[in-house]
Amino acid sequence: VKTHLQTLSREAEATRAEANQEALTRLCESQPVLVDVARALDVVPGMTPTTILTSGPPLPVERYTGGQRRAILYGAVFEGLAQDLDDAERKLASGEITVSNCHGHGCVGSVAGIYTASMPVFVVENETYGNRGFCNFYEGESRRRLNYGAYDDEVRQGLLFIAETLAPVIREAVRRAGGIPLRPIMRRAITMGDELHSRNTAGTTLFMKELAPHLLELGIGGELDADAVRRSLAFMYESDYFFLRLSMAAAKATADAAHGIEGSSVVTAMTLSCAGFAIRVSGLGDAWFEGPPAVVEAKLFEGFTDEDIEWIGGESHITETVGLGGFCQAAAFALQAYQGGSPQAMAAMNEEMYEITVGEHTEFKIPFFGYRGTPVGIDLFRVLETGIAPVIDGGLAGRNGGQIGAGILKAPLECFERAAAAYVERA
């Protein structure tokens, strides 16, 4: 590492510092606003009727294996592109169905991160910088969900409810609201025990509070089927993680605004596929720097062991790249019940993140740290100098599909080493 840094000229170092400050500014100044809800096909750049998006860096189709591959095939079946898994395999091989990576299309995937053309997505616009981020919907409290690699008639019915009932209601409410600024909700949720990755209870409740007057108008006005409004409210009532997808879309719109700053060594995305972990860096273009899977300290649901964990993808850690999740754990001590650990360990891990980041968030502040801003802007060189890996709060998928627990992931240093080498070469 030191060797890498020593090879940078003084001038290059100054450029890097300046570029990283610019990345920090963009991360802090971004104003993500939920402006619409729409079909992926209608708004996601590059989406086609036969495209399936999944988590991870772009991979040749044969590198998708195990649960992530199954999730892609299930997506094809759900979308009506294939009759069954075998049919889907054939069409994948023939190129009739194409697979692409979420990040390449302005999206972020939760766990396997399956997007198909008909799925509704949140459209989040970064009002400061003009770019957009997308995320599809939380499927509900069942452990069996397509994004966790599970599929059956219940999963299918759930996805249809989201597309046909929930999304139109939320769309109408959002349009009536003239868009819903997400930053104030996120800032507030952090003072109410959320870190907005593995805990979104406050965010969801605050979002419902924003929607409530508009849902009421929809009920009074009678433009939409009253039962659809009722059922949508009931779904959100039960879904403490509902806001996660808004947090992810907001984080994507934010991180993308900080991407592409020449000379910046700030990480703008971290992603996970069945093939391993990968990161992207602001000043290093579209390249992804791969490594092995993350190391995890898991708290599993009863009946499961570490042997049952399978990596089927995940890029909700986009939240960590913008100063949330593991970088904001000391705001969310309630999380210990879900992902293990002690309040002391959570605070210590959170505090360590200040050592690998460029600055402190000017908007997202942690009450337990005396309202200190969250650590934000992961500098790949600081990671390598300190040997401190970014911590990530995450849900865990099982070998047989479905969620089997949660835990704290650490990003593998190999990704950062490769990125550093590329950085030095470019500089």
**Measured from the CB atom, is 2 or 371 closer to a copy of itself?**
371
364 lines the binding site for a copy of itself (CB under 8 A): no
202 lines the binding site for a copy of itself (CB under 8 A): yes
- Please give the residues from 343 up to 362 whose contact with a copy of itself meets the rule CB under 8 A: 343
The single residue among 30, 147, 200, 205 that binds a copy of itself, judged by CB under 8 A, is: 205
192 lines the binding site for a copy of itself (CB under 8 A): yes
DSSP string, 244-258: HHHHHHHHHHHHHHT
Judged by CB under 8 A, which stretch of 5-13, 52-60, 163-171, 369-377 contacts a copy of itself?
Answer: 369-377
d(CA 287, CA 252): 17
By CB neighbour count within 10 A (0-12 exposed, 13-18 middle, 19+ buried), where does 241 fall?
buried
d(CA 84, CA 406): 31
Residues in contact with a copy of itself, shown as a per-residue x/- string from 151 to 190 under the rule CB under 8 A: -------------------------------------x--
CB of 296 to a copy of itself, least distance (A): 22
220 lines the binding site for a copy of itself (CB under 8 A): yes
**Measured from the CB atom, is 216 or 421 closer to a copy of itself?**
216
The single residue among 15, 118, 336, 362 that binds a copy of itself, judged by CB under 8 A, is: 336
| Angular region, 233: left φ>0, alpha ψ -120 to 50, beta rest | alpha
The single residue among 60, 302, 307, 371 that binds a copy of itself, judged by CB under 8 A, is: 371
By CB neighbour count within 10 A (0-12 exposed, 13-18 middle, 19+ buried), where does 338 fall?
middle
The single residue among 368, 410, 422, 424 that binds a copy of itself, judged by CB under 8 A, is: 368
**Measured from the CB atom, is 62 or 220 closer to a copy of itself?**
220
Q: In what order do the strands lie in the sheet with 295-300?
A: 295-300, 403-410, 391-397
How far from 238 is each of 116, 139, 227, 290, 348, CA to CA, in Å?
25, 11, 17, 37, 32
241 lines the binding site for a copy of itself (CB under 8 A): no
342 lines the binding site for a copy of itself (CB under 8 A): yes
Nearest to 207 by CA among 231, 166, 242, 175: 242
How far from 51 is each of 68, 84, 135, 266, 337, CA to CA, in Å?
15, 17, 16, 30, 38
CA-based diameter of the chain, in Å? 67
DSSP string, 119-172: -EEEEEEETTT--EEEEE----S-S--GGGT--SHHHHHHHHHIIIIIHHHHHH
Q: Count residues binding a copy of itself (CB under 8 A).
A: 35
226 lines the binding site for a copy of itself (CB under 8 A): yes
Judged by CB under 8 A, which stretch of 67-75, 211-219, 351-359, 392-400 contacts a copy of itself?
Answer: 211-219
239 lines the binding site for a copy of itself (CB under 8 A): no
Within its chain, how far is the Cα of 268 from the centroid?
12
**Measured from the CB atom, is 219 or 260 closer to a copy of itself?**
219
Residues in contact with a copy of itself, shown as a per-residue x/- string from 258 to 277 under the rule CB under 8 A: --------------------
421 lines the binding site for a copy of itself (CB under 8 A): no
* The residue to which tokens 């062991």 are assigned: 305
CB of 212 to a copy of itself, least distance (A): 5
CB of 191 to a copy of itself, least distance (A): 4
* The residue to which tokens 């990755």 are assigned: 197
Q: Which residues lie closer than 8 Å to 83 by C-beta, 6 or more apart? A: 77
d(CA 281, CA 20): 11
Query: Footprint of a copy of itself on this chain (CB under 8 A)?
Result: 188, 191-193, 201-202, 205-206, 208-209, 212-213, 215-217, 219-220, 222, 226, 229-230, 233-234, 237, 333-334, 336-337, 342-343, 367-371
